[in-house]
Amino acid sequence: MVRSRSPVSRLLSGLSAADRSAVSQALNLVDDQRPKERAAALELLDRLEQRDDAGGAVRVGITGAPGAGKSSLLNALVETLREQERTIGIIAVDPSSQQSGGALLGDRMRIGFSARESGVFLRSMAARDRLGGLADATYASVAILSAVFDLVFIETVGVGQSECDVARLVDSLIFVAQPGAGDTLQFMKAGILELPDIFVVNKADFGATAERARNELIAGLGMASERDGEGWQAPVILTSARDESGIKELAEAIDAHRGWLETSGELPVRRARGRLGFVRDALVRRYGEYGLDHIGGGAALEARVAEASEYSTFRLVHELGSEIEEALRRP
């Protein structure tokens, strides 16, 4: 019965063994648009998603305005987490590039750890696909890194749409503000204060302006949480990546939030919501609401996504997309 193992099976065992070259190969595969590679990528992602039973890696998004200190914070966090002997995969989404190919921002990232350090893996990726969404490969990469590392971080820039995009693929979303930049106000105006699970005001070494930004945020959150009632209370943490203050607190908040997700039963709820949101978004970006209506609209989609638990998120987009295309071709 046993035939020579397929390339996908080999990749899967490589990932199980946390083999770095398997991780790189898998990430390249999901970025490859050629038909044969595409089919292999879908098989890989199906099998990874089926394996992801107990919740797997802790998935964390870090977002905030350019220059807020996201990379510097990550750098400091990585140090703390490595002291705890935990392994870390990082995806840095490059805001300046479309599609993939090239677009390496290791130097822009200002992440200082050794790329050869075995417990840490960094990949930078193109921000947006042609149609303006977070590139599909970003979602696929999260699935791959989650199979290998204890924690997976995704760094993205922006206040607004990108929060919504990133919130779909992580369990915990961290928003980083910097003092005096009006970030927090902008954020409140954007009306997405309920999205982040952890708020950070970085550059605490600025002193009083940092305190002020923190107080602003706490006041804004106070108003939001009155609507919210019970549940997770998003902390506001003052950090300095420069002095390395507040970093331990931030690491603790990440663990506390994951703990809360597990005990409250929110983790599977959130993952399911993210899956549906991702599939819906990907289809609407490609075919519009009009296209979605051809397979029965939003409610039908929700039922289909819930039913198809043996399919990976990526396979679903692929299959439903073909179905829409077929329906659109019908006279």
Residues forming contacts to ligand GTP in the complex (CB under 6 A) are 64, 66-72, 110, 157, 202-203, 205, 240-242
Least CB distance to ligand GTP at residue 249 (A): 14
38 binds, among Mg ion, ligand GTP, none (CB under 5 to 8 A by kind): none
Least CB distance to Mg ion at residue 99 (A): 20
Least CB distance to Mg ion at residue 111 (A): 8
124 binds Mg ion (CB under 5 A): no
**Pair of tokens at residue 176:** 């980083």
The sign of the dihedral angle between the CA atoms of 7, 12, 17, 20 is: positive
| Complex with ligand GTP: residue 66 or 106, whichever CB lies closer | 66
138 binds, among Mg ion, ligand GTP, none (CB under 5 to 8 A by kind): none
Least CB distance to ligand GTP at residue 159 (A): 11
Determine contact, residues 141/125, Cβ cutoff 8 Å: yes
Closest CA to 121 of 23, 10, 26: 23
Residue with tokens 């703390």, as numbered in its chain: 80
Per-residue binder mask for Mg ion (CB under 5 A), 39-78, x = binder: -------------------------------xx-------
| Complex with ligand GTP: residue 194 or 205, whichever CB lies closer | 205
| Complex with ligand GTP: residue 29 or 76, whichever CB lies closer | 76
- Listed in sequence order, the DSSP H helices in the chain are 7-16, 20-29, 35-51, 70-83, 106-109, 136-146, 161-167, 183-189, 208-228, 247-264, 266-293, 297-307, 313-329
Least CB distance to ligand GTP at residue 26 (A): 25
* N-to-C CA span, the chain: 46
238 binds, among Mg ion, ligand GTP, none (CB under 5 to 8 A by kind): none
Closest CA to 249 of 260, 262, 235, 259: 235
| Complex with ligand GTP: residue 72 or 312, whichever CB lies closer | 72
| Complex with Mg ion: residue 71 or 141, whichever CB lies closer | 71
Closest CA to 268 of 56, 90, 86: 56
Question: How far, rounded to the nearest angstrom, does the alpha carbon of residue 9 sit from its chain's CA centroid?
Answer: 25
Catalog residues that contact Mg ion under the rule CB under 5 A: 70-71
